[in-house]
Copies of this chain bind each other. A is one copy, B any other.
Amino acid sequence: MSYERPSVKRLHAYTPGEQPQGGRIIKLNTNENPYPPAPEVLAELGNIDPHALRRYPSPMADEFRRVAARLHGVNPENIIATNGGDELLRLALTCFVEPGEAIGVTRPSYSLYPVLAAIHGASVFEVPRPDDWSLPGNFAAELNRQKVPLGLVVNPHAPSGRLSSVDELAAIANEFKGVLLIDEAYVDFVDPSLNHSTLPLLNQFDNLLILRTLSKGYSLAGLRFGYGIGHADLIAGLHKVRDSYNQDVISQALAVASLTAQQYARQSWQKVRDERARLAAALSQRGMSAPDSEANFLLVDVPGAGQAEVLYQALKQQGILVRWFDQPRLRDKLRISVGSDAENDALLQGVDQFLQAL
């Protein structure tokens, strides 16, 4: 017999991007960073004290919070360390949303949001993005009208890479009556000449929660380390509902080393931006354009009805994974992570092979 709650029985679990283990696969499907983590992170692996492993870790990730606070110009009580950004999303639902209430998102968005909502017994209220993937102007008003307690905006936007400005976000935080979570999973890849930073908004708004992760910008998707930055009251609430020791001792040590190695990280972001520009230009030359992206991926138009899926399959045959979404407005596109120069060359070659065979 089944013991699952009816809502769990109905649940469709999140489908992670394909994660083939080993082999000569070129993975441009899950927005991983093509460069390895900083040498300081790897060196830290050699410094782990065996007796630290047998003891419980710091329950609050104290040292990490100090380092992150210093980096962002806030206080440790404005920081919570989480098991990947995903845990922060779940904690925000647990802390701020009653089962039966809704979360507010733009459409399309990160496909994990509705899964987490369903697990929590919450529904999803979606406001469609305009054709240019910008933030809907009525987002806050619509969420208020629906009495939504938690709004989620991924910025730069996934899967388009479009960056919304700090002013737009400030306007939403100001108007919205619930907690606004800005999912900045990809913010490290924003061109620094844009001077984009939502951190100053923390001084103005007590309902703003910023999600960061080491998965992309710091090449540590394998480590599962994210964190939240927000008003001390929001953060205190999230601490109350997390598992009591949610981050292990090795992850805490490596996360500290990683955030500390800023110069290395910034160099990898610049390399990703350079390759992003090169890849976008090269694909555009081949008739496959993408909107301007400030993330480490491109949402590429594939001309010809049904051709995006065909190209996705053709690349897969060649050992190159990209992401195709079987969803309205996305079926004619591919989301391609920016890889290393060699990986991007291989992708372009794969695309050429496909075009020649047409």
Instruction: Report A's interface with B, CB cutoff 8 A.
Output: 1-5, 8-9, 11, 13-14, 16-17, 19, 21, 27, 30, 32-37, 41-42, 45-46, 48, 50-59, 62, 83-84, 86-87, 90, 94-99, 112, 115, 119, 121, 149, 178-179, 206-207, 215, 219-225, 233-234, 237, 239-241, 243-251, 254
Contact = CB atoms under 8 A, between A and B. Distances in A.
Q: For the complex formed by this chain, how many copies does it contain in all? A: 2
22 contacts: A3-B96, A4-B96, A8-B95, A8-B241, A9-B237, A13-B244, A14-B244, A19-B55, A19-B59, A32-B56, A33-B54, A45-B48, A52-B222, A55-B222, A83-B243, A94-B119, A99-B121, A223-B250, A224-B248, A248-B248, A250-B254, A251-B251
Given A36-B54, A55-B222, 14 more contacts: A3-B234, A8-B241, A13-B244, A30-B55, A36-B50, A45-B46, A46-B46, A53-B220, A55-B221, A99-B99, A112-B244, A223-B248, A224-B245, A224-B246
A86 B245 contact: yes
Contact of A37 (B34, B54, B115): B54
Provide the main secondary structure of the chain A interface: loop
A251 B57 CA distance: 14
Contacts of A35: 54
Most buried by B among A3, A14, A219: A3
Contact of A13 (B84, B240, B245): B240
A241 B13 CA distance: 7
Most buried by B among A1, A21, A222, A223: A222
A247 B243 CA distance: 14
Contacts of A245: 16, 84, 86, 224
A41 B54 contact: no
A125 to B, nearest CB: 17
A222 B4 contact: no
B98 A5 contact: yes
A56 B207 contact: no
Contacts of A243: 83-84, 86-87, 90
A3 B178 contact: yes
